[in-house]
Amino acid sequence: MSTQLLAILTGLGLADLMPRFYAEGIDDDLLRELTDIDLQLIGVSRLGDRKRLLKQLAGAQTSAELALAGAIVPEIGVEDVGVHDPHDAAGETLELKLPGGEPIRFSFCPPGIFHMGSPNEEPKRCEDEVPVRVQFKTGFWIAQTPVTQSQFGAVVRENPSHFRGETLPVDSVSWGDSQNFVNMLSDSAEIPKGFHLELPTEAQWEYACRAGTQSVFGFGDSLTSVEANFDGNHHYPSNSKKGPYLGKTTPVCKYRPNAWGIFDMHGNVWEWCKDWYGDTRLGGVDPQGPSFGVNRVRRGGAWNGGAAFCRAAFRYYRSPEYRSNHFGFRVALVARK
């Protein structure tokens, strides 16, 4: 094995996998040797991204040179994968059966590092969006859609929604209503060993929304109301073409998902998060937000607001008791600490 290749694998935290890499350089032979487990550990799940990463690494021999090459150098070693099977790739799906047999489908969000927040030059950004670095040492599962009225009724046996329809997101729920759903589902469903149900933290929510991107939205730097359910009179950027304004919620999965198979992260209903709201975000490893507060975080924008509120970095808040026809939530499966 070449010194160059040895340095690259060391920088990627793959030292114990080195015997599997026999090539004397980064070429198609090495590419063919990489398995799904290797991809998970590197933090790259798509073939095109893998090839691009390998090209960036060509010629790099130290960690410093890896960084200059623009490589992804995770701080997550093999021992940090936790209870997750390293075969779990971004976007892999899991189903949890509700009472009566209806499923909630989840997408896997892999271990990784991202910057939560927005850069100074992002139009319409707010003062509480200062970027912070966040690391997830273990992955987690997040529901592919907001909780629907059918799913909510299967667990709670009631429907508080203003807009009625089984495939519409449940609306008019408070933070407490959302937490009550989580608690009741935890008691009635067969939760995978080593996990528990929660509302997603603010950091988990944004990580899932971005799905490996750092753009304004999970789909890029613009959003029209043909791509998500919001007031199309207020599009993004402001010089783009106006779109429809439906004036109500729409069925989940109506619009295309992001790269990890997650729907409705932009628009439709605001989504309650686990965290108390704070003026500044907490970065670091698996951040949980402030330990106390007055308001709870909500994310994602809604059917009655503009596209700027749907940005991945946009933060808002409300009293935990607040209910409205543009408030809903989704759930997450998180590894027990």
Q: Which bin fits 251, alpha (ψ -120 to 50), beta or left (φ > 0)?
A: beta
What 3-state DSSP class applies to 135?
strand
pLDDT at 41: 46
Rg over alpha carbons for the chain, rounded to the nearest Å, is 21
In the chain, % of residues over pLDDT 70: 73
Predicted confidence (pLDDT) per residue in 120-143, tens digit: 999 999 999 999 999 998 899 999
| Nearest-angstrom CA–CA distance, 266 and 264 | 5
| pLDDT for residue 108 is more than 50 | yes
Q: Cβ distance 169 to 146 under 8 Å? A: yes
Q: Cβ distance 110 to 90 under 8 Å? A: yes
The confidence band for 229, taking pLDDT boundaries of 50, 70 and 90, is very high
| Segment holding 8, helix H or strand E | helix 3-11
Q: Which residues pair with 107 in a beta bridge?
A: 93, 142
Beta-carbon count within 10 A of 231 CB: 23
Predicted confidence (pLDDT) per residue in 275-315, tens digit: 999 988 778 899 988 888 999 999 999 999 999 999 999 99
| pLDDT for residue 77 is more than 90 | no
pLDDT at 243: 93
pLDDT at 29: 52
DSSP annotation of 127: G
pLDDT at 146: 98
The confidence band for 241, taking pLDDT boundaries of 50, 70 and 90, is confident
Q: Please provide the average confidence, as pLDDT, over all residues in the chain.
A: 80
Predicted confidence (pLDDT) per residue in 204-218, tens digit: 999 999 999 999 999
Among residues 20, 206, 215, 185, the alpha carbon closest in space to that of 98 is found at: 185
| pLDDT for residue 67 is more than 70 | no
Domain 93-335 has CATH 3.60.110.10: no
| Nearest-angstrom CA–CA distance, 266 and 271 | 10
Instruction: End-to-end CA distance of the chain: give it in Å, rounded.
Output: 39
The confidence band for 7, taking pLDDT boundaries of 50, 70 and 90, is low
| pLDDT for residue 9 is more than 80 | no
The full set of domain ranges for the chain reads 3-74, 93-335
pLDDT at 294: 96
Using CA atoms, how far residue 240 sits from 125, 166, 228, 236, 265, in Å, is: 18, 34, 15, 6, 21
Q: Is the peptide bond before 169 cis (omega within 30 degrees of 0)?
A: no
| Nearest-angstrom CA–CA distance, 38 and 50 | 10
What 3-state DSSP class applies to 259?
coil
Predicted confidence (pLDDT) per residue in 86-104, tens digit: 334 777 889 999 988 889 9
199: tokens are 């509302």
- 193 or 5, greater pLDDT: 193
89: tokens are 């790739």
| Nearest-angstrom CA–CA distance, 252 and 255 | 8
Among residues 302, 295, 301, the alpha carbon closest in space to that of 322 is found at: 295
| Nearest-angstrom CA–CA distance, 50 and 143 | 27
Q: Cβ distance 135 to 284 under 8 Å? A: yes
| pLDDT for residue 185 is more than 50 | yes
